[in-house]
Amino acid sequence: MYDVCHPSFYKIGELGCQDVLQISTAFNAYIELCEVRKLWNVEYKYEPVINTIYLTAKLSNVAETQIYVPWPVKKTIKLHDIERLQKQLNCNRFTLVLKSGESSSIFYDIRQGLIKPDATLRNTEKMHSISQKKNELNKTLKRNSHNLYRLVKIQK
C-alpha cells in the first residue's frame, strides 16, 4: 500500500539490491519498526556480498543499535544463510523478521551458537528406544492403576 508512493520505498530500492521481493519485504519491515513498534533511528542498509537488505534500530534513544533482517516467508532460510548473515554483518545476534506481505510479521531473535541438530542414526534409534520405554511404562501404570488405588485406599 505505502510502497507505491513512500519515499523510503524508492530509497531502499536504490541501495543496490535487484530483488523486488526483498525490497518490498524490507520496506514493510521498515514501516513496522517505525510506525508500529516505534523504534528509534531506524535505518536501512545493504550488504552486497550476501545481497541482503537489513535494518538497524534502537529500542530507545539511549539503547544499543540492533540489527533486523527482513526475510520473506516465500523464501526458505537455512542454517547456512543464518551463519552467512552473522559473518557478513559481523554480529553475534540479530532479529530475523519473517514477513508475509504487508501485515504479518514474526520476529525471531537469532544468537551465535545456533547449531544444526545431530540427526545421526544412532541418536534416532536411541530416541526411539526411550520413547518405546515410556510407552511401555505408561501402559503398565494404566494397567495397574486400579490395584495401586486400592492399595492406597487400604493403607489409609
Return d(Cα 71, Cα 82) in angstroms, integer: 11
Residues 40-68: what's their mean pLDDT? 94
| Domain 2-111: which CATH number of 2.60.40.10, 2.20.25.10, 3.40.1350.10, 3.40.640.10 | 3.40.1350.10
- Per-domain residue ranges for the chain? 2-111, 117-156
The 10s digit of each residue's pLDDT in 69-126 is 999 999 999 989 999 999 999 998 999 999 987 778 899 999 887 666 666 666 777 7
pLDDT of residue 146 exceeding 90: no
The pTM for the full model equals 0.70
Beta bridge partners of residue 95, listed in sequence order: 68, 109
Write the secondary structure of the chain as one string of H (helix), E (strand) and C (coil).
CHHHCCHHHHHHHCCCCCCHHHHHHHHHHHHHHHHHCCCEEEEEEEECCCCEEEEEEECCCCCCEEEEEEEECCCCCCHHHHHHHHHHCCCCEEEEEEEECCCEEEEEEEECCCCCCCCCHHHHHHHHHHHHHHHHHHHHHHHHHHHHHHHHHHHC
pLDDT of residue 4 exceeding 80: no
pLDDT value at residue 91? 92
The sign of the dihedral angle between the CA atoms of 17, 55, 96, 99 is negative
In percent, how much of the chain has pLDDT > 70?
91
